[in-house]
Chains A and B, each alone.
Chain A
Amino acid sequence: MIPLDPLAALVVAGGTLLAPVAVGLLIGVDRKANAAVQLRVGPPVLQPLYDVTKLLAKASAGSDRVAAGLLAAHLVLAAGSFALILAGGDLLVAVLVLGAANLSFILAASAVESPFAQLGAGRELVVLVATEPLLILVVVAYALAAGSFSSAAIAAGSPYMVAVPTLALPLAVLLSATLRKSPFDLASSHHGHQELVKGSTTEMAGGWLAIAELGHWYEAAVILALIVLAAARLPVVAAALVAALYAIVIVADNTLPRATWRAALAIAWAVGGGGAAIALVTAVLASTKGAMG
């Protein structure tokens, strides 16, 4: 663990608290953009924040005690993973903590009796299987290029667009999956076009649904942080990278409705895995060339 001075700790705490607001706004812009693609007006940019506030302000919803505990764990672990990256900690630990957060959510979804929630939990697991290897490959590629797993060192060694350009592919797949976009919306979709509109979240209501949503936003914040790490020293380039990958994700979302879990797995591993593998090879080649030269 990296020793933090009080000021840095304050920045990390503040950043971690503000992250859901930023992700909420980003999702609001995303819903606006999607509506524009479909020639609709779309909801206000603040819509995701309205939704979460409304859910938190609902009269209290009873919840299965086990599921509630797991949902709380999901939120805390996902937030912790993000805070770890922000604090310059070990990226490998951060993505493993994120995996634990994902797993808590899946267990929360399968802890209840609803067959829809169980089905959603199973599919959530498929998405996890599709994306978790990619996450680790991305982190290893970063580490090879930077010579360290610490996110501070990786940020200092950025940008990596030249060293490992194909890293953009697994990052796009991860972004699409974390935002639950087609073809990764098979577990629970915000759109009516999926066969399972409410899967894993079926039994969650009121404040608990808001906590689940906030946990998902932290997951998205981690993936966005991974994207930003590719050009952390050039904020404008980093923002452009996020925008470009987001655009790819929106196009994929609108062109791949009703994808099956097999398609999701195939796309994740072919596109993301292929890109990550090439990135690994280029990173190794670059580092050996650097060592020889």
Chain B
Amino acid sequence: MSADRPFRRWVRRSRVRSPWLVHFDCGGCNGCDIEVLDMLTPRYSAERLGVVNVGDPRQADVLVVTGPANPRNAEVLRAVYDQMLEPKVVVAAGSCAAHGGIFRGASNVLGGVGEVVPVDVFVPGCPPPPWRILAGIIDAVPLLADVRPPRSPSGGPSRPEPLRVAPDDRPAKGQVDPAIDAHDADLESVTVP
């Protein structure tokens, strides 16, 4: 037992420090995809966290999804998710991936990707800036430490108040959404594990 513990610590540490990404675009406007790729450039130095962008779901630990779920891509998204080996996490980047975004309510849109796969972290923004996507990944990696039981689709982000629909609820032009502002303040305190 005691000889077992340092080994287990090493394994958990290795899992957390080696998040390999696979990026799947469900078909948003591509804005989020540009930001995801931007996040992988040397400027944000994601490799310091052990991040590697792999093109293969079977080699990936983190699924970064952008865009809304629709009946045609749901199957593919599910297949990509199912091909990933446990432990794995899902980061939904952008409003579309969270709840359908500007496509919400369209006849061919099911909603966010949480309708199809269990999402662990929702990253707000349309599109979210690269550092916020990276922060979402940093938030998600501790979940990689242990193999978790199979999970069912999570649905959209849970928030106590209903999704904002009224136009006068939006921040005025040139003003920052207070929710985003608060999230940015959170980022200041993010420490790399």
Contacts and interface: CB of A to CB of B under 8 A. Distances in A.
B84 to A, nearest CB: 9
Contacts of A50: 13-14, 17-18, 50
A60 B48 CA distance: 27
Nearest to B57: A205
Contacts of A255: none
B83 to A, nearest CB: 9
B50 A43 contact: yes
A51 B48 contact: no
Contacts of A204: 59
Interface residues of A, number: 32
Interface in A44-83: 44, 46-47, 49-51, 53-54, 57-61
Contacts of B147: 59
A35 B45 CA distance: 9
B85 A58 contact: yes
Interface residues on B, range: 20 to 34
A53 B14 contact: yes
Given A47-B50, A192-B40, A206-B58, A54 B45 contact: no
A266 to B, nearest CB: 28
Contact of B55 (A38, A59, A198): A198
A198 B54 contact: yes
A13 interface: no
B75 interface: no
B53 A51 contact: no
Contact of B52 (A40, A190, A203): A190
A57 B59 contact: no
B17 A47 contact: yes
Contact of B48 (A43, A202, A209): A43
A190 B40 CA distance: 13
B56 interface: yes
A25 to B, nearest CB: 14
Given A35-B47, A41-B45, A43-B48, A53 B53 contact: no
Nearest to B61: A54
A206 B57 CA distance: 11
B17 A198 contact: no
A42 B56 contact: no
A186 to B, nearest CB: 16
A44 B47 CA distance: 9
Chain B CB within 10 A, most for which of A35, A46, A50, A61: A50
B38 interface: no
Nearest to A49: B14
Contacts of A2: none
Contacts of A47: 17-18, 50
Nearest to B86: A59
Given A49-B14, A206-B85, 18 more contacts: A31-B47, A35-B48, A41-B45, A43-B48, A46-B17, A47-B50, A50-B17, A51-B50, A51-B52, A53-B14, A54-B14, A54-B18, A57-B15, A59-B87, A59-B147, A201-B59, A205-B59, A209-B59
10 contacts: A44-B17, A47-B17, A47-B50, A49-B14, A50-B14, A51-B18, A59-B85, A203-B58, A204-B59, A205-B85
Give 10 nearest A-B pairs by CB, closest first: A205-B58, A53-B14, A59-B86, A50-B14, A54-B18, A41-B48, A40-B45, A50-B17, A54-B14, A58-B85
